[in-house]
Amino acid sequence: MNFDPDEFSINYPISNSLTPFNLLNERELFITYNENIFNKISSLEEERPTNYKTDMINFRNPKQTPKVDVYTFEKIKEIFQKNNISDLYKYILNNFVYDSDIKNAEMKLMGIKRKRSYNLSTNIDRMKYSKGRKSNSDSSQRNHHKMSSDNIIKKIKSKLFENILQFINNILNNLSSINEKKKILKDIDYKYINQIKKEFDLDLLNKSIKDLLSFEVSEKFRCQKDFNKIMIEELVKNKNDNKFLIFALNMKFREWIEIFTLKKEFKEFNDTFSVDLFKNMPKVKDMIEGVFNKNKEKNYISSFIFYLYNYENWFIMKRSKKK
pLDDT in tens, 74-124: 898 888 878 766 566 777 777 777 778 888 888 888 777 665 544 444 444
**187 pLDDT above the threshold of 90:** yes
More confident residue, 320 or 161: 161
**45 pLDDT above the threshold of 70:** no
**Separation CA 7–CA 139 (nearest Å):** 31
**217 pLDDT above the threshold of 60:** yes
pLDDT for res 3: 44
Task: State the first-to-last Cα distance of the chain, in angstroms, to the nearest integer.
Answer: 39
Task: Point out which residues pair with 130 in neighbouring strands.
Answer: 142
**Pair 174, 280: CB distance under 8 Å:** yes
The tens digit of pLDDT for each residue in 57-77 reads: 343 443 454 567 889 988 988
**Pair 79, 262: CB distance under 8 Å:** yes
**Pair 123, 323: CB distance under 8 Å:** no
- Which H or E run includes 141? strand 141-142
Of the listed ranges 49-53, 235-239, 298-302, the one predicted with least confidence: 49-53
**Separation CA 196–CA 200 (nearest Å):** 8
Q: Where are the domains of the chain?
A: 1-48+117-144, 69-113+145-323
* Segment of 31-40, 70-79, 131-140 carrying the highest mean pLDDT: 70-79
**Pair 30, 42: CB distance under 8 Å:** no
